[in-house]
Structure 1
Amino acid sequence: MKVLVRGLRAGVGAARLREALASYVRVKEVELIDEGDGAHPWAWVDLDLDDVDPMTVWKLVANLDRRYIAGCHTRWHVPAYRAR
């Protein structure tokens, strides 16, 4: 499941973020987005929680929100699902 992570600072790479998150959750992929405001990038983090009930994901995100991770005061968001 992909979640949005904001509050990152310039210079934090995908590998560093993945390493910092390893003690909390398994991560499949980190996609850093630094277009626009390069001083404040954000990331799509694909958590290895596809077979977990959605409430567990919400609880994890609530626990990680506003936590200091990889030298950054992060903000976590679960995007609303939209069927096509």
Structure 2
Amino acid sequence: MKVLVRGLKAGLDAAALREALARYAKIRSVELVEAGDPKHPWAWVDIDASALTVWKLVARLDRRYIAGCHLRWHVPAYRAR
């Protein structure tokens, strides 16, 4: 399930973010998005877990300091069934 992660610092690469998040969940992929404002990138993080597990993880990790950033997590309202 893909979630949106904001609050990343400029210069953080996808591999470093993936490594930092791997201690909390199995991460399928990390796609950094620097379009718009490269000083404030964000990422799509694909977590290999059920929807309920992802919701619990997001609630636990929102506003935590991970990979040198205070991350904000968002679960998109629309999900394919």
1:18 is paired with a residue of what secondary structure? Answer: helix
Cα deviation, residue 57, structure 1: 1.6
- After superposition, residues 1-84 of structure 1 pair within 5 angstroms as 1-49=1-49, 52=50, 54-81=51-78
CA distance in 2, matches of 1:3, 1:17: 14
Residue 55 of structure 2 aligns with an amino acid whose one-letter code is: W
Residue 41 of structure 1 aligns with an amino acid whose one-letter code is: P
Aligned length: 80
**Of 40-49 and 55-64, the range deviating more from structure 2:** 55-64
Cα deviation, residue 81, structure 1: 1.3
Runs of 4+ in 1 over 6 A off after TM superposition: none
1:38 is paired with a residue of what secondary structure? Answer: coil
Query: TM-score, length-normalised on structure 1?
Result: 0.90
Residue 67 of structure 1 aligns with an amino acid whose one-letter code is: R
Cα deviation, residue 82, structure 1: 5.6
8 Å contact kept, 2:18–2:27: yes
| Identity %, equivalent residues | 73
1:11 is paired with a residue of what secondary structure? Answer: coil
Query: TM-score, length-normalised on structure 2?
Result: 0.93
